[in-house]
Amino acid sequence: MEMLWTELGIMFVIALRSASPLLAVVIGETLTQRAGVINLGVEGQMLLGALTGVAVTFHTASPVMGLLAGCMAGLSLSLLHAWLVLGFKANQIASGIAVLMLGSGISAFYGIPYVGQRIERFESLKTSWLADIPLLGPVVSPFSPTVLITVLLIPVAGVLLYRTRWGLRWRAAGESPEISRNLGENPRRYQLIAICLGGLLSGFGGAALSVDYTANWVEGMTNGQGLLAVGLVIVARWNPWLTLPAALLFGAAQAMNLRLQSWGVDISSYLLATLPYVLPLAVMALSYRSLRHTGGGMPEGLKAVFARSA
């Protein structure tokens, strides 16, 4: 029994460590979609944040500056989406893809001099004051700073969304612009903040990946995690509290694929590699019954986006 807990604990650590950049993007996109806007461009924002993080860290020798710069980069790119979608009332899906491509192209273009460059890393938390905290210390110190920040974002997002008046208005903007206006609000204001917040968090996720996790830049290094994050928002049923299990599920499945290989399981690694994609489907299938009557939790305003054409 104790072996099982240890194994689960190890899996948790591994999954969280590798999936935390993804998690940051999922949290951001959840908030965005809750306000009634979908942004497929998070992949581009993540890439731009990753490159900017590495570039700034390289020039300033400060990973913290790199993280901040990555956030800003993601936010800046998301402003394009906001401009197109809120300003021009353009189709959100298409705009997102334009943003995705722009982020991907710009990061690849300007990232050329940074490939193969070494950057400063964060110092291990094990030697910091964090490790000395009783009980909590040994649990959190194996992780790197960005993982902890990302995890802390969850209760912040959850409480903000569900327990504050501001959060109520945020959700109203996503459910119905009419209700929002009846409350005396301008839903577009919340949507702008939502897009920017999503941009900031996806830039953070990208920078966390490049500055903290891998400490280097490679073209296209997010490998589609941004797009996957948009999908995982659905798995998490647009609920910030469920983003952690959703991302962990994916991260654990990826880790399982590699572990199963090392344990000598006699299945092709290509088939094992489908695990991270099959598991979310299975989870959604299993939770079907509880969702049947609530439509899965998609904000009504978002449904309108899908029903509208260009």
Partner 1 sequence: MKNLKTLFLFTTLSMTALSDALADTRVGFVYVGPRTDFGYNYAQDQGRQYLDEHMDNVSTLYFENVPENAEVQRVMERMIRNGVDIIFPTSYGYLDPALDLARRYPDTTFVHSGGLKTADNLSTYFADIDQAMYLTGMTAGLMTETDRLGFIAAHPIPQVLRNINAFARGAQSVNPDVTTSVIWTAQWSNPTAESEAANTLIDNGADVLAGHVDSPINYTQTAEQRGVYAVGYHADASKFAPQGWLVGAEWNWGPMMVDIVTSIQDGTWEPTHLRGNLTTGATQLTEFGDNAPEEVRERVLQARDEIMAGDLHIWHGPVVDQTGNELYSDEMPMEAVESMDFLVQGVQGRLP
Partner 2 sequence: MPSAIHSRASRLTARLRTLLPLALIVVLFVLACLAFFMINDRAPLSLFMQMVAGGFGDFYSLSESLVQAGPIMLTAMAVALPARLGLISVGGEGQMYAGAVLGTGVVLLGFDWPGFLLMPLMLLGGMLGGALYGLMPALLKTRLGINETIATLLLNYIALLLVSFLVHGPWRNPASLGWPATIEFPSGAVLPTLWASRMHVGLILAVCIAFAMHWLVTHSRWGLALHVLRSNPRAGATAGLSHTTNVVLVLCLGGLLAGLAGIAEASVIHGRLQAGIAGTYGLTGFLVAWLAGQHFLRIIPISVLMGGLLASADTLQLFAQLPAASAVILQATLFAIVLAVNAHWSKHQRRST
The whole-angstrom separation of Cα 15 and Cα 154 is: 16
Partner from partner 2, partner 1, none binding residue 214, C-beta < 5-8 Å depending on class? partner 1
Binding mask 104-123 for partner 2 (x = CB under 8 A): xxx-xx--x-----------
Closer by beta carbon to partner 2, 96 or else 145 = 96
258 binds, among partner 1, partner 2, none (CB under 5 to 8 A by kind): partner 1
Binding at 197: pick from partner 2, partner 1, none (beta carbon under 5-8 Å per type):
none
> Which pair of tokens denotes residue 143?
């992780």
Please tell me whether residue 219 binds partner 1 under the rule CB under 8 A: yes
The only residue of 26, 77, 100, 209 in contact with partner 1, by rule CB under 8 A: 209
Closest distance of CB 99 from partner 1, Å: 20
Binding mask 246-275 for partner 1 (x = CB under 8 A): --------xx--xx-xx-x-x-xxx--x--
Residue 141 and residue 130 in contact, taking contact as beta carbons nearer than 8 Å: yes
140 binds, among partner 2, partner 1, none (CB under 5 to 8 A by kind): none
Applying CB under 8 A, which of residues 58, 143, 213, 250 lies at the interface with partner 1?
Answer: 213
Strand partners, 115: 217
In this complex, which beta carbon is closest to partner 1, that of residue 123 or of residue 300?
Answer: 123
The one among 31, 72, 208, 227 contacting partner 2 by CB under 8 A: 227
Binders of partner 1 among residues 13 to 52 (CB under 8 A) are 14, 18
Q: Does 281 bind partner 1 (CB under 8 A)?
A: no
Is-contact 28 149, C-beta < 8 A?
no
* Interface map 158-177 toward partner 1 (x if CB under 8 A): --------------------
Expressed in angstroms, the distance from the first to the final Cα of the chain is 56
- 128 sits near partner 1 (criterion: CB under 8 A): no
**Minimal distance in Å, beta carbon 262 to partner 1?**
5
CA dihedral 66, 220, 228, 125 (to 10 degrees): -30
Task: Determine the longest span between alpha carbons in the chain, in angstroms.
Answer: 62
Which residue ranges make up the site for partner 1 (CB under 8 A)?
10, 14, 18, 108, 111-113, 115-116, 118, 209, 213-216, 218-221, 223, 225, 254-255, 258-259, 261-262, 264, 266, 268-270, 273
Interface residues with partner 2 (CB under 8 A) are 80, 83-84, 88-91, 93-95, 97-102, 104-106, 108-109, 112, 219, 227-228, 231-232, 234-235, 268, 270-271, 273-274, 277-278, 280-281, 284-285, 288, 291-292, 296, 298, 306-307, 309-310
